[in-house]
């Protein structure tokens, strides 16, 4: 295996919450991301899935250093980012871009598409003047927009077109790595497949590496090479796509997959849903032992006790955190 493009080691992002009366203030910690370790190979797409609030987006933001990690290391190739000085970080950031969920909120309504897409080229001193304009035209064409859109404003576009502008802006920085934070969740279902296909063809053309964050497992199945499942800030399972979808080992993954409709009507008729009881516990007070034990259909007495199950490789490339596979 080649050297990973991205390597995350024991990443933690804890947010302070102040509680109590002013003279009795105490600080508690929301453990949004709590000890993640994984890597992403060049040209690979890692899908990161889980219910909302499980820490997926915070993980993506912490990798790009848009969120300051509380602990742990993030490597981009050989460079450790959490301790990088600002100039070195700025250079690495050019190579790492983010596509946000909401194309309405992530575009400045007062800027034309030409200036939005040209801005990263100016910031990172990649091109200027006519060369910049030519490159913007080329990128607009690459993402399926017309060079005539150059002088238009975001409000003149549909949701799908706006997301293409967001993708064009990310490409303008000439990145190696893109974090897609639910990049199709806000789009009409009819448009979602087009944007997924676009992301796949751009990956082929430019050799991009993706962290694709989503709650929809059927979409991740189309795009991801490997899939990581998160719950309450921790990784529950990580495996290649085929192993994870055909032979999930963790009860939480099994429950998530049981909710995904199957296109084949015969198999769909036999699909058995696993309904999880209760709500996701607060990340302020995660359960001790296995953090999933309050909702796990297979819970055992040892699951309620520390230590929590270790996240470990149980088959080649297949990692899971569950006492059932001890």
The residues binding ligand SF4 (CB under 6 A) are: 250-251, 290, 292-293, 296, 298-300, 303, 309, 322-324
Give the integer Cα–Cα distance in Å for 15 and 37. 19
Instruction: Check if the beta carbon of residue 149 is closer than 8 Å to that of residue 113.
Output: yes
* Minimum gap (Å) between residue 303 Cβ and ligand SF4: 3
Q: What is the C-alpha separation between 99 and 78, in angstroms, rounded?
A: 24
Cβ proximity to ligand SF4, 20 vs 297, nearer residue: 297
Per DSSP, which regions of the chain are E strands?
6-19, 26-40, 45-49, 71-76, 79-80, 96-99, 177-181, 209-214, 226-231, 234-240, 312-315, 318-320
When the beta carbons of 34 and 44 are compared against ligand SF4, the nearer one is 34
Least distance (Å) between residue 291 CB and ligand SF4: 8
Q: Which two tokens stand for residue 65?
A: 């250093």
- The residue among 55, 59, 43, 54 whose CA lies nearest residue 5 is 43
Return the number of the residue (162 or 250) whose C-beta is nearest ligand SF4. 250
CA atoms within 13 A on the CB side of 160: 15
Q: Which is nearer to ligand SF4, 137 or 293 (CB)?
A: 293
Q: How far is the CB of 294 from ligand SF4 (least distance, A)?
A: 8
Least distance CB 132 / ligand SF4 (angstroms):
52
**Cα–Cα distance for residue pair 278/258, rounded to 1 Å:** 17
Question: In the bound complex, what is the minimum distance in angstroms from residue 220's beta carbon to ligand SF4?
Answer: 21
56/293 with CB nearer ligand SF4 = 293
Residue number, 145 or 303, with CB nearest to ligand SF4 = 303
SS (H, E, C) 53-102: CCCHHHHHHHHCCCCCCCEEEEEECCEECCCCCHHHHHHHHHCEEEECCC
* Least gap, CB of 216 to ligand SF4 (angstroms): 22
């Amino acid at each position: 295996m080649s050297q990973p493009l991205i390597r995350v080691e024991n990443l933690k992002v804890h947010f302070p919450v102040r509680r109590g009366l002013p003279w009795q203030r105490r600080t508690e910690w929301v453990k949004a991301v709590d000890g993640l370790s994984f890597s992403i190979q060049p040209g690979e797409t890692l899908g990161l899935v889980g219910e909302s609030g499980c820490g997926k987006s915070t993980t993506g933001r912490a990798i790009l250093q848009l969120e300051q990690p509380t602990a742990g290391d993030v490597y981009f190739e050989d460079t450790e980012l959490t301790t990088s000085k600002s100039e070195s970080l700025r250079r690495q950031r050019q190579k790492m871009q983010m596509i946000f969920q909401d194309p309405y909120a992530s575009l400045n309504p007062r800027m034309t598409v030409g200036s939005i897409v040209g801005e990263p080229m100016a910031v990172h001193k990649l091109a200027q003047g006519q060369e910049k304009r030519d490159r913007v035209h080329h990128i607009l064409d690459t993402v399926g927009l017309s060079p005539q859109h150059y002088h238009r404003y975001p409000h003149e576009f549909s949701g799908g077109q706006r997301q293409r502008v967001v993708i064009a802006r990310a490409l303008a920085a000439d990145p190696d790595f893109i974090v897609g934070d639910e990049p199709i969740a806000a789009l009409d279902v009819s448009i979602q497949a087009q944007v997924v296909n676009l992301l796949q063809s751009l990956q082929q053309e430019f050799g991009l590496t993706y962290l694709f964050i989503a709650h929809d497992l059927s979409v991740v199945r189309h795009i991801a090479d490997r899939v990581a499942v998160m719950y309450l800030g921790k990784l529950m399972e990580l495996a290649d796509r085929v192993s994870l979808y055909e032979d999930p080992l963790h009860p939480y993954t099994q429950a998530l997959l049981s909710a995904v409709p199957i296109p084949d009507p015969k198999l769909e008729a036999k699909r058995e849903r696993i309904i999880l009881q209760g709500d996701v516990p607060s990340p302020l007070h995660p359960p001790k032992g296995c953090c999933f034990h309050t909702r796990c259909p297979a819970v055992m007495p040892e699951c309620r006790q520390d230590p929590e199950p270790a996240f470990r490789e149980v088959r080649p490339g297949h990692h899971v955190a569950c006492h059932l596979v001890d």
